[in-house]
Structure 1
């Protein structure tokens, strides 16, 4: 952001590869156990560093929350991360978009499809983690609507 002063908005989408033990930012060579208090403190610090950098450069943040996945263990970890992201982003006064809500997932329950405009659309690829082009479009439309609510971006079928 310092090198590109014209940036006004950053869209962040992290998390599906993160629900694991990770190296500590404070102690070289030391790993933090996923969900431990030290892990959460370190991870929240990483989230805040992104938000603080944006604030320092007067850049708006749109943070996209990771949705449920087909793999239950991974999905449980992602739900935990989603809660961390949402609380830090909202506390910073930035915009948070829940993909679970966009995809009509109730209680973080995975589904490959959803009904939209009277049609069933496929949102997720066969691996149960990645998105189809249609799923990507649903997310992009939400981002565009957040950026420019006056555009009234029409939903795709």
Structure 2
């Protein structure tokens, strides 16, 4: 294919894709560059390597109650997007520590084996400020033994999903109001970020972008019209319905960018 034809094909695919996406995103926030800082994608190799044989890209959302809300936001943003479908696999009151409640390593492995999805969005950590109990021994939060087990469970989840060809977007825990949680959740984010870097998966930073102008927690957000609205619930951890749209937009922007790269490459062949 000539260079001119290749360029025309890319422009054509991009126009169709973004026309669909803009319908789904009406009234939501524009791209926030902070959410994608530190991430790069080589033009010769799109981040998403597994494409659907027919139909839209299938995204599965895994995680806790925040992931549950993130799913709702992503679903609403992509309700009319024919290039993308969002499925929920989140479970409230779960995490990587209490595998007796739900074992995410087994759950992720099962999802990977299903072969149904091309993309996984993961958000965990809210319920992980707890003690590991293994073989009659306790490993308390932030102890070396705890850190070793926690890192291993993150890596197991990532490697199983990657082995099945899924592109992984690991979403960091956003800033919270209770100060007693801020240092602890920021600490957990270092594990997610480190594992994402090691295994070359996307880490979506939502801490700084969702903080106020002073870098501190704020329950409010100004939309593109300048109107202030409440996006966080009273607990200072979860989001309102409007807030989950704002939260989901960070992930949605990156998903759309990466899918566009895949479609452009396919059109150029």
TM-score using structure 1 length: 0.84
Q: Is the 8 A contact 2:211 2:217 kept in 1?
A: no
Q: Which residue of 2 aligns with 1:10?
A: 120
Q: Which runs of 4+ in 1 moved over 3 A?
A: 104-108
Q: Which residue of 2 aligns with 1:44?
A: 151
Pairs aligned (count)? 147
Alignment RMSD: 1.9
Deviation at 1:116, TM superposition (A): 3.2
Pair member with larger Rg: 2
Deviation at 1:38, TM superposition (A): 1.0
Q: Is the 8 A contact 1:67 1:108 kept in 2?
A: no
Alignment match of 1:120 (pick from 218, 225, 228): 228
Partner SS state of residue 234, structure 2: coil
Partner SS state of residue 12, structure 1: strand
Q: Which residue of 1 aligns with 2:138?
A: 31
Partner SS state of residue 77, structure 1: helix
Alignment match of 1:89 (pick from 196, 209, 219): 196
Q: Which residue of 2 aligns with 1:155?
A: none
- Partner deviation per Cα, 1:98-126 (whole Å, 9 max, x = no partner): 12133135786322113332222322101
For CA contacts below 8 A with separation 6 or more, give which structure has more relative contact order.
2
Q: Structure 2: how far apart are the matches of 1:79 and 1:115?
A: 24
Deviation at 1:69, TM superposition (A): 1.5
Partner SS state of residue 192, structure 2: helix
Q: Is the 8 A contact 2:219 2:236 kept in 1?
A: yes
- Partner deviation per Cα, 1:43-97 (whole Å, 9 max, x = no partner): 0111101110111101111111112222111221101001111111122111111
Q: Structure 2: how far apart are the matches of 1:48 and 1:79?
A: 18
Q: Which residue of 2 aligns with 1:21?
A: 131
Partner SS state of residue 52, structure 1: helix
Unaligned runs of 5+ in 1: 151-157
Q: Structure 1: how far apart are the matches of 2:138 and 2:214?
A: 31
Q: Structure 2: how far apart are the matches of 1:107 and 1:64?
A: 22
TM-score using structure 2 length: 0.51
Unaligned runs of 5+ in 2: 1-110, 261-269
Q: Which residue of 2 aligns with 1:147?
A: 255
Q: Which residue of 2 aligns with 1:154?
A: none
